[in-house]
Amino acid sequence: MRRILILLCLILAGCGTSRTAGGRIDSDLASLVPGDTVVLVGVKMDELRATACYKKTVGENPSPELDSFAKETGLDPRKDIAELLIVSDGTKTAVLARGKFSPSSLEARAAREGGKRTPYKGVTLIGDERFAVAFLNSSTAMAGQVTALRSILDQRGRSAGLPPALRQKLDSIPPQSQIWVVAAGGFGDVSKALPHSGNLANLGRVFSMIESLTAGVDLRSGLHMSVSGVCRTEQDARSLGDAMRGLVGMARLSAPAGDPDFPKALDGIQVEQQQRTVKLTVAIPQDLWDKTLGKLSNSGSRWGPRP
């Protein structure tokens, strides 16, 4: 059942419930957020599926992997999941989901695949110590590290809601965002876990500069994204801003000669630095975004820095 998490991530890379926290998070999911959470990632799957981007990259494209997954597990992430909430305390991570589930059928399938059934606080955890899934009822499920799931169940019914620092950041994100991120710490643990050399090491250095983060993505009419990160120092902010501008510049060099659309798309990316804050905004209209996605998928193997 580890594939559930993997396939959900693949869906997100490609592209009606009660709510709280300003209409952004399903109330049942919000009640499960542990008090020590420092990172929250939300995905409104129902709203994401309605966007042209999702329809063209996921909905209209055959996916043998997802078809096989749905047949084997009885769960189709493309239609059975309404909302996802990823929670992390910086070391433990879990995915919470609202949707339409058949717990008994899914539990039986997971057990047949070799998942160990472990009762805990009135819920059955299915998997091993590294990864497990659990169904709280026919509309709520969670998956991730067993220690994270146990922590959630330990605090179930006693949660005071979202930590104040995260709630405040969440309120600043445009409500129309189908995908959003808020974080108030936890980056140091991420940077330590990454390799000390290579590209991932560079990513680790970026994480080590950041203290908090907010981000929102709206795909209703092209790509509209706003990201704001607060760095440890003003020097870190300058370094991060310069690095982001450098990446945009490298992307321009990677565009095929004579292609006017990709440079136009890059014109919609702006990076600003104000004291310790670095802001990234992206505004690419639907027609240009469609062209860019098509060229990335059809010509990606031919793209690269030109001599």
Rounded to two decimals, the pTM is: 0.80
> What average pLDDT does this structure show over 68-87?
76
What local confidence, expressed as pLDDT, does residue 7 receive? 45
d(CA 251, CA 260): 13
Q: How many C-alpha atoms does 64 have within 13 Å on its Cβ side?
A: 0
What local confidence, expressed as pLDDT, does residue 74 receive? 62
- Whether the predicted pLDDT of 270 surpasses 60: yes
How many beta carbons lie within 10 A of that of residue 73, not counting itself?
18
Which pLDDT tens digit goes with each residue over 145-184? Answer: 899 999 999 988 887 778 888 988 998 898 889 999 999 9
Looking at the chain, the whole-number percentage of residues with pLDDT higher than 70 is: 75
- Whether the predicted pLDDT of 200 surpasses 60: no
Which pLDDT tens digit goes with each residue over 226-251? Answer: 999 999 999 999 999 999 999 899 98
Q: Choose between 120 and 11: higher pLDDT.
A: 120
Q: Choose between 115 and 279: higher pLDDT.
A: 279
Give whole-number Cα distances, 266 to 52, 253, 271, in Å.
20, 11, 11
**Averaged pLDDT score across all residues of the chain:** 79
- Whether the predicted pLDDT of 301 surpasses 60: no
- Whether the predicted pLDDT of 40 surpasses 60: yes
Q: Choose between 115 and 180: higher pLDDT.
A: 180
The residue among 20, 17, 11, 31 whose CA lies nearest residue 76 is 11
What local confidence, expressed as pLDDT, does residue 230 receive? 95
> What average pLDDT does this structure show over 242-271?
88
What local confidence, expressed as pLDDT, does residue 228 receive? 95
Which of 79-83, 131-135, 160-164, 275-279 has the least mean pLDDT?
160-164
Which of 139-153, 195-209, 262-276 has the least mean pLDDT?
195-209
> What average pLDDT does this structure show over 216-227?
94
Which of 84-88, 128-132, 237-241 has the least mean pLDDT?
128-132
What local confidence, expressed as pLDDT, does residue 253 receive? 87
Which of 63-77, 80-94, 134-148 has the least mean pLDDT?
63-77
> What average pLDDT does this structure show over 100-110?
73
Which of 1-5, 63-67, 87-91, 151-155 has the least mean pLDDT?
1-5
Q: How many C-alpha atoms does 77 have within 13 Å on its Cβ side?
A: 23
d(CA 233, CA 41): 25
What are the structure tokens assigned to 273, written together? 């630095």
Reading phi first (left if > 0) and then psi (alpha if -120 to 50, else beta), residue 123 is in: beta
What local confidence, expressed as pLDDT, does residue 23 receive? 47
Which of 153-157, 203-207, 303-307 has the least mean pLDDT?
303-307
